[in-house]
Amino acid sequence: MENKIHNLKLVGEKVNNLIIKPNEVFSFWKLIGKPNDKNGFKKGRNLIDGKVSDDFGGGICQFSSILYHLALQTGFKIIERHAHSLDIYEEHERFTPLGAYATVVFGYKDLQFQNIYDFPIQFKSEISEDEIKLSAFSEDKIHINEVKFDYHIVENGVEVQTLVDDELLFKNYYKRL
């Protein structure tokens, strides 16, 4: 857990005060860089090919997922996002709703979105031992979308539909252990 918090704080520092200009595309990996010991990351829990393992940068999917959820709420255009293939959490353990997960794997899976507004938007990030706060700010009004995740139990898993202002945006399947 200590390594995960360390990794989350590294990511949070890079995102804090970040400004995304009009039409600019944000790339998680372009900003964060390779999660290795040289870049200050520690080993933590990762999900790779449906299996739990330890690797550098473990736990940072928690941040990318919260960032993705904020991007949905603020109306950014989602360019690239990957869902986890496995749901390892019980409902009371979730850090974002199932369906808001955005897994990132360096060189393979990125989180990218574009600022569709004609004004810049700035992110603010605070990481503590038990909380991640992520906010978007602008001098102009940002429309906040209503984001819903509809769950449907299917064989060996859960299908989740992501609805933004009642429009179907994504459909994902999560295998249950």
Extents of the domains making up the chain: 2-140
Q: What is the pLDDT of residue 49?
A: 63
Going by C-alpha positions, the residue among 121, 27, 136, 45 that lies closest to residue 88 is 45
How do residues 86-139 score in pLDDT, each as one tens digit? 777 777 777 788 889 898 999 899 999 999 999 999 999 999 888 899 999 999
Can you name the residues that pair with 54 across neighbouring β-strands? 45
pLDDT surpasses 80 at 174: yes
pTM of the entire structure?
0.91
Q: What is the pLDDT of residue 45?
A: 73
pLDDT surpasses 90 at 51: no
Per-residue confidence band for 48, with pLDDT thresholds at 50, 70 and 90: low
Per-residue confidence band for 85, with pLDDT thresholds at 50, 70 and 90: confident
The larger pLDDT score, comparing residue 174 to residue 113, is at 113
Q: What is the pLDDT of residue 112?
A: 98
Per-residue confidence band for 73, with pLDDT thresholds at 50, 70 and 90: very high
Q: What is the pLDDT of residue 129?
A: 85
- Please give the Cα distance from 99 to 91 (Å, whole number): 12
97-136 burial, b at 16+ Cβ within 10 Å, e below that, comes to bbbbbbbbbbeebbbbbbbebeeebebebebeeeebebeb
Per-residue confidence band for 54, with pLDDT thresholds at 50, 70 and 90: confident
Average model confidence (pLDDT) across the chain: 90
Q: What is the pLDDT of residue 163?
A: 95
| H or E stretch at 5 | helix 2-15
pLDDT surpasses 80 at 31: yes
